[in-house]
Amino acid sequence: MAQPMQGIKVVDLSRILAGPLCTMTLADFGAEVLKVESRAGDETRAWLPPVTEDGVSTYYSAVNRNKHAIVVDFTNSEELADLREIIRNADVVVENFRPGVLAKFGLDYETLRMSNPALVYCSISGFGDGGGASLPGFDLLVQAVGGLMSITGEPNGTPSKVGVALVDVLAAQNATTGILLALRERESSGQGQKVGISLMTSLLAGLTNQASSTAVTGNSPPRLGNAHPSIAPYETFATTAGVVVIAVGNNRQFASLVTELGLSDLLQDPRFADNTSRVRHRKELKELIEEVTRQRTAVQWTSRLMGVGVPAGKVNSILEALEFADELGLEPVVTIKDPKTGRTSKQITNPIGLSRSKPEYRLVPPALGEHQHVYRSTPAIKGANPND
């Protein structure tokens, strides 16, 4: 069966995380993706340790499977001409250079659309191409100025970043969605368009209820640690071994929780009569619950509480999380083997599940310029088989 993106040619001028994750998603579902790098290569190639078994950066490996890779020197007129010819025959370009940089080389949207009006051109920036065009688009910086750090961390502690480049991931997902929308519109209009994605707006939209409450009330929410601003109890609790999350979403679950904990008297306490009251008295409620949870392990509490219909779970390490997902049959890890070189790459599976069109894992993350011979000149470019 044909893949959803089969026949779509993508030129990936991006590097690091947001752009490469977007193009890898498209590649997993059949798009032909050509990764274009400078002589120095994608910065993440040098972000190590940790490394794979064959010494490749795990950061680079995480977002660059199913791609071909070539090196292009933008200051070399012949190489630049070949790249423009590739793009003339492409469907999609993805780039995350600082706004204005690619125009110097004739690789901006307005220039490229003259020779390829059907081109969908996705530009990922930190803060857009207006007043924030000169600002560096680093995930940590956006987490800070975009408000995420202000609500992350303990109430009396310092603001904290999320433990992964979450803003880049959000931007990658928005970029993928934007490209698919533009390709869908192109089916009726025959015209491409520019897709503009910024890390800043991706984060603000991703703040959902927290941003909404701020826009409505004019008040910024405080840091609550692992607690929820609108639900209680909905946070972490200490145990004799490990930490357990208890996520109560309604009064029925609350009744089951306190009954299982031997705290059924709390059902008659007006401080905890409904969710609004429980949120108001969150601190007292946590202390009462934690006096009991400290008597058993996180694993034991997970089993007991889930057994009575209360959402609960041990705080896992990432390794434990992968093992748990595997136990559930979610198949979180796949190993790709290059049929020609024998190289293997262990990868986290694509999270998108389609009933008829499965993601495919065809190619290990490419070495720098690995497919230069396939795309060495314009004739070869036109007839290149991305599965070679």
Catalytic residues: 168
| Integer Cα distance of 170 and 103 in angstroms | 26
Cis peptide before 222 (omega within 30 of 0): no
Tokens of 146: 């975009």
| Residue 147, Ramachandran bin (φ over 0: left; ψ between -120 and 50: alpha; else beta) | left
| Integer Cα distance of 22 and 142 in angstroms | 19
| C-alpha to C-alpha distances, 383 to 4, 47, 61, 376, nearest whole angstrom | 22, 34, 28, 11
